[in-house]
Structure 1
Amino acid sequence: MASHKIVLATNETYHLFNRSIGKVDIFSNLDNLNKILEVVNYYRYPQRIKLSRYNSMLESQKSEYLSTIIKNPPLIDIYVFSFMPNHFHLLAKQLQDKGITIFLSNIQNSFAKYFDLKNDRNGGLFQRSFKAKRITNNGEFIHVSRYIHINHVTSRIIEFEQLKTYEWTSLPCYLNEKLNKFVNTKPILDYFKTPEKYLKFLENNVDHQRKLKKIKDLLLD
């Protein structure tokens, strides 16, 4: 179960983070990525049934069920995501009281059950307490989006050119709206006017972010 010591405010935006216990690699392969994206998309709304039960329904039943669910407001609005090998980052606004806590609890529990079944394991998968940093102004919003989107690049997992189509982040949703299932790209694209300008902003900050990461790593005990 996801927990957080500080009460998160509705209609406020947060940088959300959590890691697997023992830094277990959980998101590297495509099957696991597709599962967590399915889980995120499903549980961003309050649900009456678990995803596993929903997936066992007939297509007509699924459509009927979803048509009732989407009449209600979602728990959160997701602007940016990134799934690193052993942790995730989200930039999201809470839309309902306790929305973030409920959402994170649901996605972590659902993905953990999938991961345990797939790998014949038991026990906790995610650290109990997630981290949340409130975004206080537009400048923070833009720069946290940058940090999250180029994290794979600055960590030298991929090259920047690969990022354009890299499904482990939400950036492809910004460059090709057809790929977008649940990311709200409007605030960032309104600020930069075009996807190309946002992409250039990200590219121009790769070296700077790497330098900051190196300094941070040097300061860790």
Structure 2
Amino acid sequence: MNVRKTIFANGELYHIFNRGIEKHPVFTSKKEYERAVLTLDYYRFKNPSLRLSKTLILNLENREKFYTELRNLSDKLVEIVVYCLMPNHFHFVLKQRLDNGISRFVSNFANSYTRYFNTRHDKRTGALFQGIFKAVHIEDDDQLVHVARYIHINPAVSYVIEKDNLEKYEWSSYPEFLGLSKKEICDKDLVLKLFSSRKSFRKFVADQVDYARRLDKIKHLILE
């Protein structure tokens, strides 16, 4: 029986990772990525006054009003610091705000998205993600910035997107960090305060892509 070794503490940061069962794709279309982003945005809050399905039928103006009120008034299970959705897995950096917040958030996200995915793929039933998600405690600022970079370059290192288009990758927090997105999902300042400017953060991230690609290629050659 798998048992989680990491104990989540309020106020602490953790790198969270999970992938599809047998590494199968879990995000297969733009619509599915969009739904996943809406889902993670919604479930970071403790007790939203509307069900997620109800928020999705609101017009844009009322939906934005709803989320503005949530941000200002609601308790959060977690702060989402960094995220990236990839074809068959996801990464989050989360700061736990309430007891059991990380476990509740990840469970709510995975269960809600799985129901949506299985409904879209009408012959599919059962779990979508692997059992116990992986979690690593982030112990200091140096680890935080390197994890943030690792997560943000993931789409380019895996050739899901070209290096020059990395900041246009819609399904990660990188555009939000660079001020290129209107999304207000992440507590970006926890990372950005460690850099002199957004420009310096961008350079810190972009300069690592080619090196990480080389390492990834070597790793696959060794494994083969």
Query: Scaled by the length of structure 2, what TM-score is found?
Result: 0.86
Aligned counterpart, 1:102: 104
Residues 47 and 75 in structure 2, CA contact (< 8 A), matched pair in contact too? no
1:71, CA displacement in angstroms?
Answer: 2.2
Which among 118, 121, 137 is matched to residue 120 of structure 2? 118
Alpha-carbon distance in structure 1 between the residues aligned to 2:204 and 2:166: 13
Gaps spanning 5+ residues in structure 2: where? none
Alpha-carbon distance in structure 2 between the residues aligned to 1:215 and 1:8: 34
Residue 191 of structure 2 corresponds to residue 188 of structure 1: yes
Aligned counterpart, 2:146: 143
Are residues 79 and 116 of structure 1, via their aligned partners in 2, closer, same or farther at CA, if it must alter by over 3 Å?
same
Which among 187, 208, 218 is matched to residue 211 of structure 2? 208
Residues 13 and 91 in structure 1, CA contact (< 8 A), matched pair in contact too? yes
Residues 54 and 62 in structure 1, CA contact (< 8 A), matched pair in contact too? no
Aligned counterpart, 1:30: 30
1:79, CA displacement in angstroms?
Answer: 1.3
Count how many residue pairs are aligned between Structure 1 and Structure 2.
219
Supply the AA of the counterpart residue of 2:24.
V
Supply the AA of the counterpart residue of 1:33.
Y
Residues 17 and 135 in structure 2, CA contact (< 8 A), matched pair in contact too? yes
Supply the AA of the counterpart residue of 2:82.
V
Are residues 152 and 57 of structure 1, via their aligned partners in 2, closer, same or farther at CA, if it must alter by over 3 Å?
closer
Partner deviation per Cα, 1:44-74 (whole Å, 9 max, x = no partner) = 0113664224546798799679847852321
Select between 8-17 and 175-184 the one with higher mean Cα deviation: 175-184
Partner deviation per Cα, 1:126-185 (whole Å, 9 max, x = no partner) = 111000000011110000000000011111121121111110211110122652221111
Alpha-carbon distance in structure 1 between the residues aligned to 2:67 and 2:158: 41
Alpha-carbon distance in structure 2 between the residues aligned to 1:173 and 1:69: 16
1:107, CA displacement in angstroms?
Answer: 0.5
Residues 153 and 160 in structure 1, CA contact (< 8 A), matched pair in contact too? yes
Gaps spanning 5+ residues in structure 1: where? none
Are residues 127 and 172 of structure 1, via their aligned partners in 2, closer, same or farther at CA, if it must alter by over 3 Å?
same
Residues 21 and 130 in structure 2, CA contact (< 8 A), matched pair in contact too? yes
Query: Scaled by the length of structure 1, what TM-score is found?
Result: 0.88
Residues 18 and 130 in structure 2, CA contact (< 8 A), matched pair in contact too? yes
Partner deviation per Cα, 1:86-142 (whole Å, 9 max, x = no partner) = 000001111111100000000001000110111102111111100000001111000
Q: How does 1:1-221 map to 2 (within 5 A)?
A: 4-47=4-47, 50-55=51-56, 67=69, 71-120=73-122, 121-176=124-179, 178-218=181-221, 220=223
Select between 67-76 and 176-185 the one with higher mean Cα deviation: 67-76
1:195, CA displacement in angstroms?
Answer: 1.4
Q: CA RMSD in A?
A: 2.6
Residues 46 and 69 in structure 1, CA contact (< 8 A), matched pair in contact too? no
